[in-house]
Amino acid sequence: MQSQASDASDVDTAWSRTVNEPATYLRDALRALAITEMDLPAIDRQLEATLNRLREPTTAATREAYAILCAAIHSVSPRRLRVAHHAHTNRLKLLGERIRGTTLLVPGLTIHQAKGREWDRVGVKLDDFERERLGVGLTVDADTDRRLYVALTRARYRTVELA
């Protein structure tokens, strides 16, 4: 869990700097790692170094990025991350692909995270039950219908169903 939180912190740092949007999971990652927002300036250079190492598409660079990240967290948190494991470094490898632009980044949010926010275009993935509910009409009494309503009304101009 702590390794996932550290990866989330890196992802959110990269995301907020890349698209100028609030970092969705940053607060959760900081809480899990026992780091305060006031600690972030102290490790900013190490986080930048982590992201810079991930620009190189090698296993060695990914492992080095994980080591830098572990040292950064160790410097401001009582939490200790595990020894590098492919489950942790694989998430960093995927982040590196996104940073290098070798994969298409499509931000995803849960319905709860999207509540109260809007975008010009929104894509939703519906299951058979949700399509059926739309066919007969949504009601305010059903929790599933209210969640579906929130998901489908986040777009300013267009909502599309993703295959």
Domain shared by 145 and 79, yes or no? no
Q: Tens-digit pLDDT profile for the chain (163 aa)?
A: 455 555 555 556 655 665 455 566 677 788 888 998 888 888 889 988 998 999 999 999 999 999 999 999 999 999 888 888 888 788 888 888 877 876 665 667 777 777 788 888 888 889 999 999 999 999 999 999 998 999 899 888 999 998 7
Output the CA–CA distances (angstroms, integers) from residue 134 to 103, 109, 129, in the order listed. Answer: 33, 21, 9
Domain shared by 30 and 56, yes or no? yes
* In a domain? residue 41: yes
Domain that holds residue 52: 2-100
Query: Based on the number of CB atoms within 10 Å of its own CB, is 126 exposed (0-12), middle (13-18) or buried (19 or more)?
Result: middle
Whole-model pTM over 0.75: no
Domain shared by 96 and 115, yes or no? no
